[in-house]
Amino acid sequence: MEAISTESRERDLSQLLALAERRVVARLNEVLDTAGCGVDEWRVLSLLADGRGHAMTEIAEYAMLPAPTLTKLIDRMVSANRVHRRVDDADRRRVLVLLTPRGRETHETLSGAVQAEWDRLGATVGRDDLALLTALLTRIAGRLA
């Protein structure tokens, strides 16, 4: 019996989503690696760039990380002087995470490089297709919540 190559078999939706995600993340990691940063840290930096400070649960949801993984990441970011923790003035039981000046500088430096990679991705995939995919995934994710 002849073996069927992986490329010639139809892939299901979960495989296609995983394949696209892995390829996009690999491209982003190449850009982010220059600052010793990964995609998870980039997501945290991007959320915190609003300057408001965010609780760990909010960051975990945004970065799509389980709490223990996020705690380790935030600890590393604290050690690298990219973020700091502060007790929330409005609710002393909550701890907020905020960017340090170094974290803000890292975010600003990487923002241009990440945007350039998104532009290259749009040119490779097609801007219209990328916009359509984004709209469809946003709709699907919202319906599956």
pTM: 0.85
Q: 39-48 vs 101-125: helix axis angle to the nearest 10?
A: 120
Model confidence at 112, pLDDT cuts 50, 70, 90, reads: very high
Residues 82 and 86: their CA atoms lie apart, in Å, by 14
How confident is the model over 119-141, as pLDDT tens digits? 999 999 999 999 999 999 999 99
Model confidence at 34, pLDDT cuts 50, 70, 90, reads: confident
DSSP three-state, residue 106? helix
In the prediction, which pLDDT does 1 show?
47
Q: What value, to the nearest 5°, has the Cα angle with vertex 56 and ends 77 and 78?
A: 15
DSSP three-state, residue 51? coil
- The tokens of 30 are what? 């190449």
| Distant-in-sequence, close-in-space partners of 116: CB < 8 Å, separation ≥ 6 | 31
Per-residue pLDDT, averaged over 10-18, amounts to 89
- The tokens of 23 are what? 């390829």
Is residue 3 pLDDT above 90, yes or no? Answer: no
| Distant-in-sequence, close-in-space partners of 48: CB < 8 Å, separation ≥ 6 | 54, 59, 83, 97, 98, 99, 103, 107
How confident is the model over 41-92, as pLDDT tens digits? 999 999 999 999 999 999 999 999 999 999 999 999 999 999 999 999 889 8
Fold exhibited by the domain 18-118: Arc Repressor Mutant, subunit A (1.10.10)
Model confidence at 6, pLDDT cuts 50, 70, 90, reads: low
- The tokens of 18 are what? 């995983």
Model confidence at 10, pLDDT cuts 50, 70, 90, reads: confident
What is the residue-averaged pLDDT of the chain? 92
Per-residue pLDDT, averaged over 33-40, amounts to 92
